[in-house]
Amino acid sequence: MEIRTYIERHKDRFRDEWFSLLRIPSVSSQSEHKADMVKCAERWKELLLASGATRAEVMPTAGNPVVYAERIVSASAPTVLVYGHYDVMPPEPLELWKSNPFEPEIRDGRVYARGADDDKGQAMIQVKGFETALQTGILNCNLKFILEGEEEIGSISLGDFCAANKELLAADVILVSDTSMVSEETPSLTTGLRGLSYWEVEVTGPNRDLHSGHFGGAVANPINVLCKLIADITDADGRITIPGFYDDVEELSDTEKAMLAQVPFSETKYKQAIDVDELFGEKGYSTLERNSCRPSFDVCGIWGGYTGEGAKTVLPSKAYAKLSCRLVPNQQPDKITQLMIDHLVSVAPRYVKIKVVHKHDGDAYVCPIDLPAYKAAEKGFTIAFGKQPLAVRRGGSIPIIPAFEKILGMKSVLMGFGLERNAIHSPNESFGLDMFYTGIEAVAEFYNHYRP
């Protein structure tokens, strides 16, 4: 049977299976969802077996379990290891969702739910692409699947799991659908990822909240101090001022700059989509360079003092912030964390106490475009989308991708089907139904063309 025919005949079931995953609130960063993680892993196990895996297991780790599955055709055939994750970001702020984040709703051909894209939708594309290849008789390689439940909290247990199961996970290449394309009109494959370091800062002033009338002016306010510390981390040119921060940054080659310049990009549309009048970033770089090939510094959250209704005149005891840097190839997260902590501790004034806690991190990654699996992915995209995909570096981080390379010694090919409009990590995350089926076709065609 033709690939497209198979997909067309089974499309309703594919969608229903995907929805059954979206209904499980597998939020890894919130401990109240501990049981949902297991429930979600068990559901994946069922689906993998039903899709053609000959073995599937929910395997324990120090944290949330890993789902492992396989279909071994022959010991001499090449092996593809498919990676995905079943955990999702917190849905908050809930009041901004138009429908329940854990009850998928179709509006205008799009599926709205937390995880619709990241990564339940994309991981399902991989599983259903495998089923399609298997059922249409074009599968020539062994398949292994590994789905983790901690990607959104830094894949904290997966490294150890991989190190302990090297034999089980042995393969020729890793296939991942957890990234996005340039646009619907410009399909692309991701050939680079940024790294990440993430910290939480706590600034303590007085030992209790003080009356701002009785103490204001005489005692340092920890929010005022935290704002100054954060403000000083970047300069007016958008550069990070921490000494040594840029030391290891790999500058883009002229060739890479030229490739990036080929990506269709309208600054006007980009600004309109997010409703800002002007963009801001590091001086001397284009927007596409800034959000994919240059490091960045973002405050992901800040809180302190009175944040309720009305006005409370208080000089608070504490102020907090969650800070993160995206890193680029050659920057070492450990080294950046040390630089950040040393910097903050050394510049914090003596009238406050500061605590910086390292939360998680990940290396940057580069995929060579002459890899056989990369070429098969390119073919798959070309057939499914009707045009050849561009090779571009992206700004996000999937810390486990460079970790796979370190631990398992394998490169990953990033066959991502996401789009900016899918609003992953945001309220009203969505994924187009058409893209879901096109993605399945691209994955099936990958297997049709994978000849290492």
- Residue 11 or 358 with smaller CB distance to a copy of itself: 358
Minimum distance from CB of 44 to a copy of itself (Å)?
22
Minimum distance from CB of 128 to a copy of itself (Å)?
25
Minimum distance from CB of 10 to a copy of itself (Å)?
31
- Residue 42 or 200 with smaller CB distance to a copy of itself: 200
For residue 447, what are its two tokens?
């297997």
Minimum distance from CB of 154 to a copy of itself (Å)?
7
- Residue 141 or 323 with smaller CB distance to a copy of itself: 323
CA angle 259, 260, 263 (to 5 degrees): 100
First and final C-alpha spacing in the chain: 25
Between CA 303 and CA 322 the distance in angstroms is: 9
CB 322 within 8 A of CB 226: no
CB 44 within 8 A of CB 124: no
Report CA 120 to chain centroid distance, whole Å. Answer: 12
Minimum distance from CB of 257 to a copy of itself (Å)?
16
- Residue 17 or 117 with smaller CB distance to a copy of itself: 117
Residues composing the chain: 452
- Residue 283 or 406 with smaller CB distance to a copy of itself: 283
Sequence-separated (6 or more) residues with CB below 8 Å from residue 34: none
User: E strand or H helix at 192, and its extent?
Assistant: strand 188-193
State how far the alpha carbon of 34 is from the alpha carbons of 31, 37, 63, 89, in Å: 6, 5, 10, 14
- Residue 92 or 247 with smaller CB distance to a copy of itself: 92
Minimum distance from CB of 1 to a copy of itself (Å)?
38
CB 408 within 8 A of CB 80: no
Between CA 19 and CA 105 the distance in angstroms is: 9
| Bond into 119 cis (ω within 30) | yes
CB 356 within 8 A of CB 334: no
- Residue 48 or 153 with smaller CB distance to a copy of itself: 153
- Residue 57 or 200 with smaller CB distance to a copy of itself: 200
- Residue 7 or 319 with smaller CB distance to a copy of itself: 319
Collapsing DSSP to helix, strand or coil, 381 comes out as: helix
Between CA 245 and CA 340 the distance in angstroms is: 9
Minimum distance from CB of 317 to a copy of itself (Å)?
9
Minimum distance from CB of 222 to a copy of itself (Å)?
9
Minimum distance from CB of 423 to a copy of itself (Å)?
7
Residue 345's nearest CA partner among 418, 447, 242, 258 is: 242
Report CA 368 to chain centroid distance, whole Å. Answer: 20
